[in-house]
């Protein structure tokens, strides 16, 4: 009735030990195979920040630029402590925030140019109407 309860044979213990060893090694290798440093994404995000600053985003879209700079600083901190997943995510967010800041700055500049053109057009129409009288 209880025949299967006898002690394990040498072969069974060896297989069990081998199975446990393989499992432990697989776990250790999985832990070592973390995300590589996102140096390319960090460079792209940094470039986006520089480009946005050059477009006047610091003055015209300060909130968006502040968010982008904050996220980039946090990404750099994450890189220092080998938090590559966090650094990758923050660099991507910083890049998007910088692109938004640049787009907002360009939009504000375009709006200002449109207002200036409308004002110049109005002044020209008034001048032409005055000369026509």
From first to last of its 133 residues, what are the pLDDT tens digits of the chain? 445 544 556 666 666 555 566 565 555 555 555 679 999 999 999 999 999 999 999 999 999 999 999 999 999 999 999 999 999 999 999 999 999 999 999 999 999 999 999 999 998 998 898 888 8
Instruction: For residue 109, give the nearest of 60, 53, 64 by alpha carbon.
Output: 60
Is residue 22 in some structural domain? no
Is residue 6 in some structural domain? no
pTM (predicted TM-score): 0.69
In total, how many domains does the chain have?
1
Is residue 112 in some structural domain? yes
Residue 83, domain extent: 36-132
Residues 87/42, Cβ–Cβ less than 8 Å: yes
Residues 48/67, Cβ–Cβ less than 8 Å: no
- Tell me what pLDDT residue 35 has: 79
Is residue 127 in some structural domain? yes
């Amino acid at each position: 009735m209880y025949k299967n309860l006898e002690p394990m044979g040498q072969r069974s213990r060896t297989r069990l030990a081998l199975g446990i060893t393989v499992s432990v090694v697989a776990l250790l290798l999985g832990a070592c195979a973390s995300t590589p440093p996102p140096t390319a994404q960090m460079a792209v995000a940094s470039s986006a920040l520089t480009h946005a600053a050059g477009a006047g985003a610091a003055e015209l879209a300060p909130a968006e630029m502040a968010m982008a700079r904050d996220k980039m600083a946090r990404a750099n901190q994450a890189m220092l402590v080998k938090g590559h997943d966090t650094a990758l995510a923050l660099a991507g967010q910083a890049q998007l925030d910088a692109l938004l800041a640049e787009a907002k700055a360009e939009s504000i500049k375009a709006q200002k140019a449109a207002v200036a053109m409308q004002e110049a057009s109005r002044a020209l129409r008034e001048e032409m109407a005055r000369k026509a009288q």
